[in-house]
Amino acid sequence: MARRKVLHVVEDLNIGGLERVVQCIVLGLDRERYDVAVWCLASGGVIFDELQRMGIPVEVLGLHSYHDPINVLTLARRMRCGGFHIIHTHGYYAGTFGRLAAVMARVPAVIHHVHTTYSNLKPRHRRVERILSSVTGHIICVAEAVRDNLSNVLRIPEGKTCVIYNASAVQPEKSSLAVVESTRTALGIRPGDTVITVVASLSDNKGQAVLLDAFRPVAAAHPGSKVVFVGDGPLRQALEGQARISGLASRVVFAGVLKDVSPVLRLTDVLVLPTTEREGLSVALVEGLSAGIPLIGSRLGGIPEVVEDKVNGILVKPGSAVELGSALERLLCSPEIRKRMGKAGRAIYDCKFTLSRMMAQIQALYDGEMKRRDHAA
């Protein structure tokens, strides 16, 4: 059988959960069956550079708006010339732009990947999503919560959607002791410190400010505890100021964006995602499962599909510093509970969130779409 040509379309490839999932899919596809490429509509980024070094055909097109018909026509013409069998789009912007162009280019199969829940789309954007869904073969949702959101908010038929959980290629257990120790030194973590880690962009909806409020009484009761924020974003300066005002400056580490979070995960005792709104299925939480770390997450979006309350972690009310502080206190007081929850988390990872499972589902979806198109032809 001839190899199928697959094109992934994204807005950019900076470090983030969506981008890491794209990287996993692109690198995980069976090269004997699929010829894969990635186009970034607006700009590149760290993951773009990584894929390029690995020999994956990646391009930045510099198309910043789908409101300009010329841009859509340009993209459609390039798709047609590329002879692609499958267009796989990710996120709202690339999903709109890419699917419009794919239909114009008469690409045989169009798949869209939704990585978050939608709560603030304008009515016209909802109409566009419903129209585009009619020309999309399948819409991949990263969680049941995302699928429910598409059905309830956008009124997209469930027959169009399927759930494929995110996976991660990160393997914390393979980080060498030397790398882990150098990371410990760089972050100012002392042997014996209890480390609470958040891996997320420093933005309003991720809830780091709530965590700092929750951590203040916990820090007083547990002198050896520290918070590590991995990531960057518009709230960094405000969060640094909040830490200073709260007297936590020496207890909070801003690690910035890291290409590889594995060494930090090896140092982590509790992984937290205190999101206050909009969450699909966090790759960071999946990485925590893989590393056998107990989790704390907000009870919203796809988080409860990763964090099973009182089994592999604790679920808390979004935005509640009181509940979050109580959860931190419980886990920091009991190494036994942390060990039990971490072990349960690894078992959940092996059952639901492995890379091999995700790739088998993606490739089965591709094969099904192509068979359906071949029969229709």
How many whole angstroms separate alpha carbon 20 and alpha carbon 90? 12
Among candidate residues 268, 224, 271, 218, the one with its CA nearest the CA of residue 246: 218
Percent of the chain with pLDDT over 70: 99
List, in order of start, the domains of the chain with CATH numbers.
Answer: 4-167+354-376 (3.40.50.2000), 172-352 (3.40.50.2000)
**Cα-Cα-Cα-Cα dihedral of 299, 305, 306, 310, to 10°?**
60
> Any idea what DSSP says for residue 205?
G
Report the b/e string of 93-126 with b at 16+ CB within 10 A: bbbbbbbbbbbebebbbbbbbbbbbbeeeeeeee
Q: Kindly state the tokens that stand for 209.
A: 């400010």
Per-residue model confidence as pLDDT tens digits over 37-59: 999 999 999 999 999 999 999 99
Q: 364 Cβ partners below 8 Å, 6+ apart?
A: none
How many whole angstroms separate alpha carbon 288 and alpha carbon 296? 10
Report whether pLDDT(377) > 60: no
Percent of the chain with pLDDT over 90: 87
Report pTM.
0.93
Q: What are phi and psi of 12, to 5 degrees?
A: -155, 180
Per-residue model confidence as pLDDT tens digits over 161-181: 999 999 988 877 778 889 999
How many whole angstroms separate alpha carbon 281 and alpha carbon 295? 14
Residue type, 269: D
